[in-house]
Amino acid sequence: MRKFSRRGIFGLGVGAAAALSVAGCSGSGSSASDKVGTKGKTAKSKPIGDGSTAYTGKQPNQPPAPEKLKPGQKPPQFVVFSWDGAGEVGNGLFPRFRKIARDHNASMTFFLSGLYLLPESKKRLYRPPNNPVGASAIGYLTDDHIKETLKNLRAAWLEGHEIGTHFNGHFCDGTGTVEHWTPAQWDSEIEQAMDFVTKWRTNTGFTDLEPLPFDYSKELVGGRTPCLKGQENLLPTARKRGWRYDASSPGGLQVWPTKKQGLWDFPLQSIPFPGHSETLSMDFNLMFNQSKNSTKGPPANYPGWRKQATDAYIAGFQRAYETNRAPFFVGNHFEQWNGGIYMDAVEEAIKHIADEKHKDVRMVSFRQLCDWLDVQDPQVLANLRGLGVGQQFTGRG
């Protein structure tokens, strides 16, 4: 697998690889986001710490309690759409995909970058491992964008979505790359990410916003590392913290997941890409195969590229749905690369997946998938894991 690296998409640091590696963070845009989460207290709200977060009871809009598969029973087709960075920077993409999720009965996972809740004026509070104090390979958000991010995070959780972590500074290259962080350094990074989420009121001084309606120490049960690097040393720390899964593996296949160091391992997956070899199921990788190091390729190519990207997501879904029913994982960023065609592709894929002709499809968060996996009979899961990519489910183990 030949690897590539680069920096500077929309002023953000990004590491990448052509076909089976990935990175990226959210970009910038112009349209306004909706106004959400500014009024009304949630029932049973009990402030935590400085009031940046609050305990509001059981999360609403969750699926029914999972049931065990019977031996030989065909499993549901799970699909997880996840978002790295999860900041609303004025392009309206966070509320756009919240609405799409509502329209199609989908839950998603939003991997929040902790720095997106820390004002740049307070950047020296961040002490990234192996990097200067306050350093970051992604930009700090403006105060207005921090506010919009907080409003959308609050609304997303109340709508049933999961809030995971994309950690903080997104260091993919050089001597400070996350690839070489120790378990103790990962622990520091996680602790700081949690601090930025649970102390945003102190750090920003904002008094006009409601708290995030969850206890982040309990809400946070998984994440995805920058550029899919550093998982090996992250996992011991994640396990000690009681996390349930990690979504940082590169180069996964469309097969049923296993556990790694006690956590469910949910990798981005290699999927068919029309006109290309297979590539990872993430917007960045589709873009790299089409326009290489440019996020603004020739506009004349956009219609064809949009169809290619849409067809890739649909092909990945269909292959799993029609054969081994392995959970289908898609990763994305709130970005507008190549005219926003990858956002359009995700929307079209969701509409296709949600079509009533597809029976037993569940668009869930990673945490909800963990809930289902954890109640299954180990032998039933072992039988499912025995099915290769594209191998037909027959019900015989």
pLDDT in tens, 72-107: 999 999 999 999 999 999 999 999 999 999 999 999
The first and second tokens of residue 171, run together, are 């260091």
| 168 burial via Cβ count (<10 Å: 0-12, 13-18, 19+) | buried
**Neighbouring residues of 70: CB distance < 8 A, sequence distance ≥ 6:** none
Beta bridge partners of 109: 82, 162
Measured between its terminal Cα atoms, the distance across the chain in Å is 34
Torsion from C-alpha of 10, 12, 14, 19, nearest 10 degrees: -20
Please, are residues 355 and 255 in contact by the beta-carbon 8 Å criterion?
Answer: no
With a cut of 70, list the residues of the chain below it in pLDDT.
1-43, 397
Can you read off the two tokens belonging to residue 249? 């593996």
Query: What is residue 62's DSSP assignment?
Result: P
Which DSSP string corresponds to 156-181?
Answer: HHHTT-EEEE--SS---SSTT-GGG-
Could you write out the three-class secondary structure of 299-356? HHHHHHHHHHHHHHHHHHHHHHHHCCCCCEEEEEECCCHHHHHHHHHHHHHHHHHCCC
Contact 92, 146 (CB under 8 A): no
**CA distances (Å), origin 249, targets 117, 262, 264, 345, 394:** 26, 15, 11, 23, 29
Q: Where are the domains of the chain?
A: 70-385
Residue with tokens 């995070």: 153
> Model's pTM, two decimal places?
0.90
Residue 234 contacts residue 183 (beta carbons within 8 Å)? yes
396 SS3 class: coil
Whole-number pLDDT of residue 3 = 29
Instruction: Check residue 44 and give its pLDDT.
Output: 78
The answer to whether residues 308 and 274 touch, using CB atoms and an 8 Å cutoff, is: yes
Tokens of 65: 């309690």
Helix (H, G, I), strand (E, B) or coil at 96: helix
Q: Say what the pLDDT of residue 357 is.
A: 95
pLDDT, residue 9, reads 29
Residue-level pLDDT at 24:
47
Nearest-angstrom CA–CA distance, 115 and 184 = 20
- pLDDT attached to residue 43: 58
pLDDT at 12 (0 to 100): 31
**Residue from 377, 391, 326 nearest 71 by CA:** 377
Identify the H or E element spanning 225. none
Record the tokens describing residue 243, joined without a space: 């996390």
Tokens of 134: 């306050």
Element containing residue 183 per DSSP (H, E): helix 183-198
Amino acid 397: pLDDT? 54
CATH class of the domain comprising 70-385: alpha beta
